[in-house]
């Protein structure tokens, strides 16, 4: 069945996602503030609209893929945008934003007589292009079922995580695990270096022992053991450090709002924010191993614990 889809935000992620929907035979009305993003989308078969309102008018489903919560909320709070859509339209926000912002966006859509789903993704630009993204969805069962065939066009897996905001919650919790575990793996390699342990020896043991994790076996932060990891390619992303810093910042906001003193999550957010603002600006997030090594080099030698 052909669905008419309004697609707003045709950047690195939204561009290929909209292209995949169009290639699957859906009618996609795309809009982006950047003329070059609009032109690139037009070349992939997306029909271009001259405003977000025009993209929403007459759409069965409106998908947004925008940089941050402020962009999503200012659009959802623009009454002209929500009013342009037929009552009962399904609004699906795939951007990565604060859980609180996602819930506010749901409320705005519902107050305007529509339905909403938050459906952030993991898988990066490569996954958006290859239609292998994983979607984490928050909202009603009926809304998820309705969106599922479209999510299946853009990705390989969609998990319904619960009510409004649950998709964003799953996304930031998962990325908090990833950010912390990458720092843990990096610290282990730096300690191993100081103890005269080769990277390969530590990898051979930890990858088949209880230290095994994705940060080690797929995205290993030191060159050598995993030939496909960004560490072997000048730390080119991959998953860029500024995106990890953004996601950990969202996790830190949620921790503070909930009054949870999660020492590692909060510290990881600080470390990635500093790294992303310095040498990590254009690096894969596994480049954090350099920041860990630099910090370790400056640390005073302490006493041993008896
Ligand atoms: P991007 O900056 O490449 O694209 C965002 C697009 O939104 C831009 O083209 C911008 O012009 C447009 N835009 C901003 N405000 C707009 C408005 N009001 N109306 C219309 N267009 C508007 O960003 P991206 O890399 O595509 O990321 C999009 C979202 O996906 C972010 O929330 C990001 O955190 C998330 N995400 C990105 C990746 C990744 O690897 N890039 C991975 C997972 C999740």
* pLDDT averaged per 10 residues in sequence order, the chain, 306 residues: 95 97 98 97 97 96 97 92 97 97 97 97 92 97 98 98 98 97 98 98 98 97 97 94 97 96 98 97 97 89 72
pLDDT of residue 306: 61
Mutate to test the pocket of ligand 1, among 8, 16, 67, 247 (most ligand atoms within 8 A of CB): 67
User: Of all atoms in ligand 1, which is nearest to the CA of residue 9?
Assistant: 7
pLDDT of residue 29: 98
* Angstrom distance (rounded) from CA 139 to CA 84: 22
Ligand 1 centroid to residue 186 C-alpha, Å = 29
Mutate to test the pocket of ligand 1, among 32, 178, 241 (most ligand atoms within 8 A of CB): 32
pTM of the model: 0.94
Ligand 1 centroid to residue 235 C-alpha, Å = 22
Nearest CA to ligand 1 atom 25: 12
User: Of all atoms in ligand 1, which is nearest to the CA of residue 14?
Assistant: 26
Nearest CA to ligand 1 atom 29: 95
Radius of gyration of the chain (CA): 21
Structure tokens at 31: 């809009």
pLDDT of residue 298: 83
pLDDT of residue 79: 74
| Catalytic center residues | 171
Ligand 1 within 6 A of CB of 95: yes
Question: CA dist 283 to 214, 245, 249, Å?
Answer: 18, 12, 18
pLDDT of residue 270: 98
């Amino acid at each position: 069945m052909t669905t008419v889809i309004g697609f707003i935000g045709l950047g690195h992620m939204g561009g290929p996602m909209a292209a995949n929907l169009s290639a699957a035979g859906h009618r996609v009305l795309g809009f982006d503030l950047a003329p070059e993003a609009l032109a690139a989308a037009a070349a992939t078969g997306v029909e271009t609209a001259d405003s977000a309102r025009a993209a929403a008018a007459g759409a069965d489903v409106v998908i947004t893929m925008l940089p941050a919560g402020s962009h999503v909320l200012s659009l959802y709070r623009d009454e002209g945008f929500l009013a342009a859509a037929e009552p009962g339209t399904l609004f699906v926000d795939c951007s990565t934003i604060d859980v609180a912002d996602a819930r506010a966006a749901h409320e705005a859509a519902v107050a305007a007589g529509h339905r909403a789903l938050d459906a952030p993704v993991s898988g990066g630009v490569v996954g958006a292009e290859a239609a292998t993204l994983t979607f984490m969805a928050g909202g009603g069962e009926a809304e998820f079922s309705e969106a599922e065939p479209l999510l299946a066009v853009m990705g390989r897996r969609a998990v319904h995580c619960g009510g409004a905001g649950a998709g964003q919650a799953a996304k930031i919790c998962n990325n908090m695990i990833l950010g912390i575990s990458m720092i843990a793996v990096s610290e282990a390699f730096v300690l191993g270096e100081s103890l005269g342990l080769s990277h390969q020896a530590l990898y051979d043991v930890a990858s088949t022992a209880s230290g095994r994790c994705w940060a080690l076996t797929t995205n290993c932060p030191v060159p050598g053991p995993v030939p496909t990891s960004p560490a072997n390619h000048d730390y080119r992303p991959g998953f860029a450090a500024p995106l990890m810093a953004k996601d950990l910042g969202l996790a830190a906001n949620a921790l503070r709002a909930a009054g949870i003193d999660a020492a590692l999550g909060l510290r990881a957010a600080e470390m990635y924010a500093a790294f992303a603002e310095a040498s990590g600006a254009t690096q894969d997030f596994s480049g954090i191993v350099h920041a860990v090594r630099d910090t370790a080099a400056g640390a005073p030698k302490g006493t041993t614990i008896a």
